[in-house]
Every structure is written in C-alpha cells, then in structure tokens.
Amino acid sequence: MTKRFIRDYKLVVRASGGDVTIVPPMRISFSVIKSIAGALNRLTVKIYNLKESNRLALVKDAEDVKYIPISLYIGYKGKYELAYKGSVHKGNNARSGVDVTTTLECLDGGFAYLNYFTSTTLREGVSPVGKLLLDMYTITKGKITTQQSLTRPRVLVGNTVKLLNDVVAEYEDWYIEDEQLYIIKKDEVTSHYIPVIKASTGLINTPSREAKRISFKILIDPTVKVGRLVKLESSVQPHLNGIYKIETITYSGDNYGSDWSQTCSGFLNSDYKVI
C-alpha cells in the first residue's frame, strides 16, 4: 500500500495541564461539518482509551466558561494538513465494552459566540466589521472582501458574532473557519489553488446535481476547502464537469474503521475573483 492511502492524523487539545497530543496507533473517530453559510463549523471526535489523567483534563460541561483549543490534522502517511481548529464545547467520558471513550463536541468560533458582547457607537467612516473583529479575542482576520464604511454613526449592541448578520451585506457570506473570520462575495473565493476531482485523485461516487447544487464524495483531501474552487472531471457524468465553488463539506473518519471520506457540495462558478 502506498503512503497515499495510509491514513494519518494528529489531534492536539490544549488542556489545563498542557497540550494533549494524540497520534496513531491510538484510535479516533470523527465527523466535521464546515460551511460558508454562516453556521458555526462543528467537530465531534471520539478518542479511545486515553490515559486517565488526560481523560479527566478534557472533561467540560457546556456551561463552563473555559477556553480549550483543539486542532485536528488529517491526511495520509507523511503528509497531513489542518482540517479543523476550534474549541471544546463539551467533553465527557464513557465506557463502551472494553473501551473507555472520550467524546469531545467542538465549535469553531464557539467560545466567541457564547461569551463575547459588543456595546459601542461607531462614528461615520468606520467599518463595523473591524470593530466586531476587535471584540472577538479568540478570532483573527481571514480573507475579508472590501467593506463599505459607515455614512453615519451607528450603534452596535448585542452578541458580537450575531451582530455580523446585521453588518454583512446580503450578497456576502460570512463564516469562521479555523478561528479566522472570512467575508466573501458570492463570486469570490479565497485561494488560486484549484484541485482536480476525478477517480484517480479520490472521487468515490458518481456526482449528482440538483437545483444547481453539485454533490460528490471523495477520499479525505484536506486541500479541498469551503470557499474555494475545485475542478470536477467525471467520466460517468461528463455533463457535470466544470469548476465549482465549495459551500459545504462533511468529513467522516475512523483510522481503524471503514470511514475516511468527505462529502462536498457547491455551485458552478467559472467566473470568479480571488481575494
């Protein structure tokens, strides 16, 4: 078996006693949902048979106001990339047969969503997005399309993340990916890189399209990301071939099970701008 198909991962959780780093041969299973549609990206990961001190360090109730960063890198032997970065929302332990499992439910930008509040009056000529980003201490700036400045003073009061819905234009999408804020227009993408999706590069099923939305399943490829483009080349459905902007990705993985794939959906987008 080539390195291309030997599954690999690294999971890093920063607990109170320091970083807990989990790598093979320890078993994990995970699911990730990432989208540019505005909802917070989510990770659920189950870790098998951690030592007791690490299991206890990762316990967290949803109402606990403590920031536990988590990063998941996935790929193949010798090469993996960041697939998810966020913070632990809930963490608990349970026994399942002979195994003790630690399940972490995580939100990308969740700590900011749950804990940050803005109350300010902005003068004219200021960008509201810039002020909101300053108030989200655990979120940094990703790719943000050109924003219009205020033509008159404006009051901003409320949950900092929710206020983005009020200040972002209807023709823009905002999302938090890997604890970075992105705001892009419908015809914009965040990278020049366009991976080719075909059978020889990991395409698993026959692509389908409904209501102008393409959907396809591939072997996990962390270089295929939301807010970016892919070039689809299907020999079975050649009329669907083209360049698509990815809106949503769902990852499913188990380094000892059968799952190691991602389902992607998006829209035809041959006329695009890179910001």
Is the preceding peptide bond at 25 cis, omega within 30 degrees of 0? Answer: yes
The rounded percent of the chain whose pLDDT value lies above 90 is 86
Region 3-108: CATH code: 2.40.10
pLDDT digits (tens, 9 = 90+) for 215-249: 999 999 988 999 999 999 999 999 999 999 999 99
Beta strands in the chain (DSSP E): 7-15, 18-22, 28-35, 42-48, 69-76, 79-96, 99-107, 117-122, 140-144, 154-159, 172-177, 180-185, 188-189, 196-197, 208-210, 213-219, 229-232, 242-254, 260-268, 273-274
Tokens of 37: 């549609």
Contact 156, 128 (CB under 8 A): yes
Q: What is the pLDDT of residue 167?
A: 92
Fold designation for 112-186: Phage tail protein beta-alpha-beta fold (3.55.50)
Which band of pLDDT confidence, cut at 50, 70 and 90, is reported for residue 270?
confident
Q: What is the pTM of this model?
A: 0.92
Rounded mean pLDDT of 72-81?
A: 91
Rounded mean pLDDT of 85-93?
A: 97
Average pLDDT of the chain is: 93
pLDDT digits (tens, 9 = 90+) for 1-11: 345 578 999 99
Rounded mean pLDDT of 117-126?
A: 93
